[in-house]
Amino acid sequence: MSGENRSSFHARPIVAGFFEKRTFSVQYVVADPETKRCAIVDPVLDFDPKSGATATQSADALLEHIGREGYTLAWILDTHPHADHFSAAGYLKDKTGAPTAIGEKVVEVQKLWKRLYNLSAFSPDGSQWDRLFADGERFEIGNMDVEVLFTPGHTLASIAYVIGDTAFIHDTIFMPDGGTARADFPGGSARALWNSIQRIMALPDSTRLFTGHDYCPGGRPPRWESTVAQQRAENIHLTKAKTEEEFVALREKRDRELPMPKLILHSLQVNIRGGRLPEPESNGKCYLKIPLDALEGAPWGD
């Protein structure tokens, strides 16, 4: 195979998306077609808030796919500490031994939520992951080069992973009919989100964009793949708000009307621990801690 062909071969990873319907989340397995080494992006640990039950079916489906395809798991990657589902990174680390990673600014999110949860013994130093990525840092999945883009706004710590012709852009831009992500969580910023979106829109037009959620507008089936060109031409927020000021006004107005995700107070205490539940108490059971009146001014949900 010529060098030119090898370059194009490695520039197009194999991507499989797995839609988790309870939280409208999309998990991914991204693989190097030559070496068959792969990474998991944004895995979900199942949780039922009504019963308090946890389960691993969603994460196990990723491992089953990896086994069927003959892949070797090289990385377990999160794009940010999620506010609407538990990360399965800790479970997958224990199951496979593969290293976990997230953006280095996660320590700022940890400090913020340590205060909100009053977690006196918790260490907000990022040690809960094997590696913390800086903006512009590079690493490899097999023979594929991965570049990390710092893309805050939805959270203080959000990053995107750019792999060849592909970018995993988490909660920045949804599918074109879904618009953009909210920016009103503690540490969020609509202005920072605008700047992050511009970084993504500066990628080549044909770049395949994989989003972190799809809320199925109008009841359509779930979708999660678009392109930079498609988003620029069709995204309902980006075509309406052409300037930074217009976007900030649009985003902040919409965010003032949105109730908090139903799992935000459940999930952050897990996700700042690298996807691990709180330590069991003397009876062997784990307990979640829900701070009351901590998110002042948030609209009430139904």
What is the per-residue pLDDT across 205-256, written as a single tens digit (0 to 9) for each? Answer: 999 999 999 999 999 999 999 999 999 999 999 999 999 999 999 999 999 9
Question: Does residue 38 sit within a domain?
Answer: yes
What is the per-residue pLDDT across 27-41, written as a single tens digit (0 to 9) for each? Answer: 999 999 999 999 999
d(CA 40, CA 166): 14
Instruction: Assign residue 18 the CATH number of its domain.
Output: 3.60.15.10
Question: Does residue 89 sit within a domain?
Answer: yes
Question: Does residue 299 sit within a domain?
Answer: no
pLDDT for 4 equals: 38
Question: Does residue 131 sit within a domain?
Answer: yes
d(CA 108, CA 155): 10
Question: Does residue 43 sit within a domain?
Answer: yes
Find tokens 């988790």 and name the residue.
20
Question: Does residue 5 sit within a domain?
Answer: no
Q: Is the dihedral of CA 229, 230, 236, 240 positive or negative?
A: positive
Give strand pairing partners of 41.
Answer: 28, 77
pLDDT for 6 equals: 36
Q: What total number of domains does the chain contain?
A: 1
pLDDT for residue 8 is more than 60: no
pLDDT for 98 equals: 98
pLDDT for 147 equals: 98
The domain in which residue 92 lies consists of 10-271
Among 162, 187, 201, CA closest to 77: 162
Question: Does residue 161 sit within a domain?
Answer: yes
Question: Does residue 285 sit within a domain?
Answer: no
